[in-house]
């Protein structure tokens, strides 16, 4: 009689409802980190929300910083993919910037990005920080390329496209740092995004 082949001790099943256990853990953990912040999420919390054992979480991620790093890198990679789609259309640059800003604000609507990352970075290793910085770099590279392309076409005056990319992301991020009362002074998300892009665009149009 054939003996039943056992899984390696501690090795979780590969799939759960068609999604790998690792992907499930990563997806749920990402949401938890974004909602609660890095310090308030434990590996126990993640295991409970994923309906797996703590040992299963540790099978894939040796530490919480490993899990956080993978979660943030994958999140930034998804944002990067979305940016590529937005900035590769034939739409005018101003409309592309509007879609970029709106997508960014929708994805981070209730997050103070600066505080969120500051809390986490104190716990990360240099290697983990490097991985996150490389993923973030891709986003700036795409925006810089779009600005340079618009400058070459004469759509906007020539200037430093890298600085332009950094300034635009900083302005968009400001939308996350507004207090609730100020945010509510805008009639809609589109109104907020329009005003941010208009401020930025006025600077570009004047060659500043």
Count of structural domains within the chain: 2
pLDDT of residue 81: 87
The answer on 124 and 37 residing in a single domain is no
Rounded Cα distance between 138 and 122, Å, is: 23
- Residue 83, domain extent: 65-205
pLDDT of residue 2: 41
**CA neighbor of 186 nearest in space, from 102, 97, 119, 130:** 102
Residues 6+ apart with CB under 8 A from 197: 94, 97, 98, 101
* Structural domain includes residue 142: yes
**CA neighbor of 23 nearest in space, from 35, 15, 31:** 15
CATH code at position 33:
1.10.10.60
The answer on 139 and 47 residing in a single domain is no
The answer on 22 and 100 residing in a single domain is no
pLDDT of residue 128: 83
CA-to-CA dists, residue 134 to 72, 103, 120, 140, 181, angstroms: 11, 21, 17, 10, 35
Chosen domain end from 35, 62, 89: 62
Q: What is the mean pLDDT of the chain?
A: 83
Asked if residue 1 has pLDDT above 50, the reply is no
* Structural domain includes residue 121: yes
**CA neighbor of 143 nearest in space, from 156, 127, 130:** 156
Greater confidence, 150 or 110?
A: 150
* Structural domain includes residue 4: no
* Structural domain includes residue 2: no
Asked if residue 59 has pLDDT above 50, the reply is yes
pLDDT of residue 64: 93
Residues 6+ apart with CB under 8 A from 49: 28, 32
14 SS3 class: coil
Rounded Cα distance between 54 and 47, Å, is: 5
Is the Cβ–Cβ distance between 41 and 64 less than 8 Å? yes
| Whole-structure pTM value | 0.72
Asked if residue 9 has pLDDT above 50, the reply is no
User: Apex CA 70: angle with CA 68 and CA 74, to 5°?
Assistant: 120
Asked if residue 110 has pLDDT above 70, the reply is no
Asked if residue 8 has pLDDT above 50, the reply is no
Which range among 2-6, 131-135, 155-159, 198-202 shows the weakest confidence by mean pLDDT? 2-6
């Amino acid at each position: 009689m054939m003996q039943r082949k056992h899984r390696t001790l501690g090795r979780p099943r590969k799939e759960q409802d068609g999604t790998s256990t690792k992907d499930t853990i990563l997806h749920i953990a990402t949401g938890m980190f974004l909602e609660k912040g890095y310090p308030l999420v434990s590996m126990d919390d993640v295991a409970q929300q994923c309906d797996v054992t703590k040992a299963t979480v540790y099978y894939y991620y040796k530490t919480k910083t490993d899990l956080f790093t993978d979660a943030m890198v994958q999140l930034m990679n998804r944002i990067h993919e979305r940016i590529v789609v937005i900035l590769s259309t034939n739409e005018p640059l101003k409309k592309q910037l509007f879609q970029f800003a709106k997508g960014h604000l929708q994805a981070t609507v209730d997050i103070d990005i600066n505080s969120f990352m500051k809390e986490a970075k104190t716990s990360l290793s240099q290697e983990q920080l490097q991985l996150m910085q490389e993923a973030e770099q891709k986003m700036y590279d795409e925006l810089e390329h779009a600005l340079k392309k618009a400058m070459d076409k004469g759509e906007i005056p020539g200037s430093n496209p890298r600085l332009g990319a950094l300034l635009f992301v900083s302005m968009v991020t400001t939308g996350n740092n507004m207090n609730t009362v100020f945010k509510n002074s805008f009639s809609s998300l589109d109104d907020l995004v329009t005003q941010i892009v208009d401020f930025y665009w006025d600077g570009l149009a004047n060659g500043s």
